[in-house]
Amino acid sequence: MRKVYVVDYDRCTINMCGRPCITQCPITISAKKPKKHEKVEIPIRVKDSTNQIIIHEEFCIKCGICANICPAKAIYVKNILEEDTSKNKIHAFPGANGEEGFRLYGLPALVPGRVTGLCGPNGIGKSTVFNILAGLLKPNFGDFTKQEGKVDWVEFTKHIREGEMREHFSDLYAGRRKVAYKQQVLNVLFDRYRGKTVLEILQASKAVDDAFFAKILENLDIQAIATRSLEQCSGGELQRFAIAQVLVSEADMYLIDEPCTFLDVKKRIALADLLDARANGSKIKYPILVVEHDLTILDYMSDVIHLFYGNPHQFGIVTNVQTTKGGINSYLKGFVKTENVQFRSNEITFKRTIGGRRWDNARVFASYGKIVKTFDDFKLVINPGVIYMSEILGVVGENGLGKSTFAKIIAGKLEPDASCKYHPIASSVAYKPQYITREFKGTVKEFIVDSSQNYDFSEAMLEPLYRPLGVDRLFDKQVAELSGGELQRVHIVACLAARCDLYVLDEPSAYLDVEERLHVSSVIRANTKRSHATTICIEHDIQIADALADRMLIFTGTPGKQGKTIGPLDKREGMNAFLKILDVTFRRDEETGRARINKKDSQLDKAQRSSGQYFYEN
C-alpha cells in the first residue's frame, strides 16, 4: 500500500496561512544548508502558473509533517493499493475511450461438499466471478478488445491451472454441466415466470426429494406466498422465492449472490442450514459459493472463505482459500497474512460489551400508549413505551410482524386504528423506507433537496454526512443510474439531511457491504448526537444492530397474522431476550470483537444458555 499526499484546493489558503507546509518541510529546511555540490529537490512548493501548492511525490519522504501542520487541513494522506500485475488476470472489461476498465485477478476454488463464502466490498468483482462460473461471461484473460466467441483452450490451459476448474469450464461450455445461480438483481425473474404462482414454479423446478423440498418450503416460509405471482411479492418475499428456486433445482454447482437482503435473522440462520444440507446431498456432494455482507451469517454458513481486495471499480484480486475465522478476521484487519498483503490502512473492530447508557435520569423524548393497527388478515399491537432524547432505538424481529408498519405509523405515513387514540410522538419526522426506488427524475443533489428540504451543501454538511458515505461524488449523477448500494446511501443521507426531531430508518444496511454498513452506523450515531434528535432504526444484521442501537424494541408473534412488541429494553436485556426467541447464542471473536453464532448444542452454546447470557461478553 503506497502513501500519497493530496491537496484539497477548495480548502487551501496559501495566501493567508503563511505556508507552513513549505517552511516546515524537512527537505526545505535541509536545502537551506546544502552540502557542497549537492542539489536538493524540494517536494512541496507553489506552482507559479496556478499559484497553488504542488507536491512532488518522487521527492517526498512521507514524513506527514505537512498534513499535520496545515491549518486548513487541506493536505491529507491517501493510501493507494498497488495492483499486482504478476497475478493471474482472468478478465478485463473495456473502459472509457478504448482503455482497459475493471480487471479481475484469480478465481475461487470449487470444493464439493463445502459452502465457500466470498467476502469483499461492492464493486470488487464478486458478481463478475459468478457470471464467469455460470458461463454468462467468458473470461478474456486481460485482452479486453477480444470479442466473445469460440473458446481458446490454449489460453484456458495457460491461465486456469487447477484441474477441478478446467473440468468445470470444459463441461460447462460443452453443455454437460449445470449451474444454478441466484443473482443479485431479481427483476429478471418477472418475465421468465410471468403468470405462474410461486408454488407452481418451484414444483416445476423440483429436483430434490420430498423431505428436503418440504424443509425448503418451511425454512423459507414459502407457504405464506405459495399462491402469489412474483409481481405480487415484496422484495423479501421475492428473495425467499429466488433462493428456494435455486436450491430445488438440479445442478452441479450452486451460486448464491447476496441472499440475506431483506431476510430476517431467523431466516438467515435457517438458510445457512439449508445450504449445508444442499452441499452435502444424500448421494452427491456439490460446491456452493455464497456472496454475503452480513459477516455473522457468512461466518456461520461458510466452511471456507475467499477474500476479495483491490480498488473498487478499478481492479479486484481473489485470495487463496482461507479458513472461515482467519479469512474474516483478515478482512477486518485489512491484512492477508498468508499473502503478505495489506489492502486497508485501518482495522475494523467492534465493541466488546453490549452494555450502554444508563437511563435513570435520561430526558424523555416521547411516551406512547397502546397502538393498534388492524388489516384484513393481520393485527399489530404495539405495547406502551418510552423513547428517550438522543437515543437510537434498534427495532428487531422476524419479517411479517409489523416492524415496517410501526415505522410508517411513527413517520405519519399510516394511520393506526381510530380506537387507540394515537397522538404523533414528534412534530417533525424524517423517514427512510424499506423499499427504495429510482423513480425520481433528476440528479442526486436535486433528490436530496426535494426529500429533505435542506439546501445546505456547505462544509458543515459535507464533512459529517455526505463525504463519509461517498455521496458527494454522486451529486451530479442521475438517480435512475445509481446502483443498489449507491441508491441506499443516497436515501440514507436524504433522510438524515432533514432538520427533524425524529429520524426513522427501515433497514439502512440493505445492499451495503461491510465497510459501508459500519460507515452508515457511525454517520447515524453522529447525526443523532449532533442534532440532539432521536433515531429509530430497523435492522436485521445483528452485528450492525449491536454497534448502532442504545436500546432494543423486539417484535414477536406469528408472521403474517399478528405481531406485538416487547420493550423498549436496555441493550443487554433486549439482546438476550431477542436471541432467546431465535433460540441461538452468540459469542464475540477474541481478536476483533465481532459477533459469532455458536453451533447448536456445542459446549459454549450450552454454557451460555444455562447462564442466561445469549450474547457472550469477554
Q: 258-281, pLDDT tens digit by residue?
A: 999 888 899 999 999 999 999 987
Superfamily of domain 364-582: P-loop containing nucleotide triphosphate hydrolases (3.40.50.300)
Q: What is the mean pLDDT of the chain?
A: 89
pLDDT at 491 over 80: yes
Quick one: pLDDT at residue 38?
A: 64
Cβ–Cβ < 8 Å for 527, 533:
yes
- Say which residue, 37 or 158, is predicted with more confidence: 158
- Predicted model pTM: 0.82
Q: What is the average per-residue pLDDT within 88-99?
A: 89
> Do 247 and 278 touch, CB atoms closer than 8 A?
yes
Mean pLDDT of 219-246: 89
Q: Tell me the average pLDDT across 210-239.
A: 89
pLDDT of residue 298: 95
pLDDT above 90: residue 177: yes
CATH match for 83-177+303-346 among 3.40.50.280, 3.30.590.20, 3.40.50.300, 3.40.462.10? 3.40.50.300
Q: H-type helices in 453-587, by residue range?
A: 459-461, 484-497, 514-530, 542-548, 571-582
| 415 contacts: CB under 8 Å, gap ≥ 6 | 409
Closest CA to 433 of 407, 414, 451, 412: 407
Give the number of other CB atoms < 10 A from CB of residue 272: 23
Residue bearing the bigger pLDDT, 355 or 398: 398
Q: Can you tell me whether residue 51 is helix, strand or coil?
A: coil
Q: Cβ-count burial of 31 within 10 angstroms (0-12 exposed, 13-18 middle, 19+ buried)?
A: middle
- Tens-place pLDDT, residues 601-612: 899 999 999 988
Angle at 236 between CA 232 and CA 239, to 5 degrees: 90
Q: Is the pLDDT at 445 greater than 90, yes or no?
A: yes
Percent of the chain with pLDDT over 90: 56
User: Mind listing the pLDDT tens digit for each residue in 116-130?
Assistant: 999 999 999 999 999
- Rounded to the nearest 5 percent, the helix, strand and coil shares of the chain are 35, 20, 45
Measured distance CA(487)–CA(425) in Å, rounded: 29
Segment 565-592 shows an average pLDDT of 91
Task: Give residue 234's pLDDT.
Answer: 79
* Mean pLDDT on 357-368: 84
Contact between 521 and 544 under an 8 Å Cβ cutoff? The reply is yes
443 contacts 457 by C-beta, under 8 angstroms: no
- DSSP classification of residue 397: E
Q: Which of 11-20, 223-232, 453-462 comes out lowest in average pLDDT?
A: 11-20
pLDDT band at 563 (very low <50, low <70, confident <90, very high): very high
Q: Given this chain, do its domains 2-80 and 364-582 carry the same CATH topology?
A: no
Q: What is the pLDDT of residue 1?
A: 62
Question: 12 pLDDT exceeds 60?
Answer: yes
Peptide bond into 424 cis (omega under 30): no
Question: What pLDDT, on a 0 to 100 scale, did the predictor assign at position 90?
Answer: 94
Count the neighbouring beta carbons within 10 Å of the beta carbon of residue 469: 22
At 192, is the pLDDT very low, low, confident or very high (cuts 50, 70, 90)? Answer: confident
In whole angstroms, what is the distance from residue 226 CA to residue 560 CA?
A: 13
Give the Cβ contact number of residue 337 at 10 Å: 12
Q: With 90 as the cut, is the pLDDT of residue 476 above it?
A: yes
pLDDT band of 82, cuts 50, 70, 90: confident
pLDDT, mean of residues 88-115: 92
Cell triple for residue 216? 425448503
**What is the pLDDT averaged over residues 179-186?**
87
The Cα 583–Cα 12 span in angstroms is 56
Q: Is the pLDDT of residue 368 over 80?
A: yes
Question: In angstroms, rounded to a whole number, what is the distance separating the alpha carbons of residues 599 and 429?
Answer: 41
The cell for 125 is 468483482
Q: Where are the domains of the chain?
A: 2-80, 83-177+303-346, 364-582
- Residue 366's CB: how many other CB atoms inside 10 A? 17
Task: List 558's β-bridge partners, or say none.
Answer: 562
With a cut of 70, say whether residue 354 has pLDDT above it. Answer: no
Number of Cβ within a 10 Å radius of residue 390: 17
Q: What is the amino acid identity at position 471?
A: V
What pLDDT shows up at residue 410?
93
Element (H, E) at 469: none
- pLDDT for res 36: 59
Bin 536: left if φ > 0, else alpha if -120 < ψ < 50, else beta.
beta
Round to whole Å and give the CA distance between 346 and 615.
Answer: 27
Detail the DSSP E strand segments found in 35-152: 44-47, 52-55, 75-80, 89-94, 100-105, 115-119
* 2-80 is classed CATH 3.30.70.20: yes
Residue 329 near residue 592 (C-beta atoms within 8 A)? yes
Residue 153 pLDDT greater than 60, yes or no: yes
Predicted local distance difference test score (pLDDT) of residue 49? 79
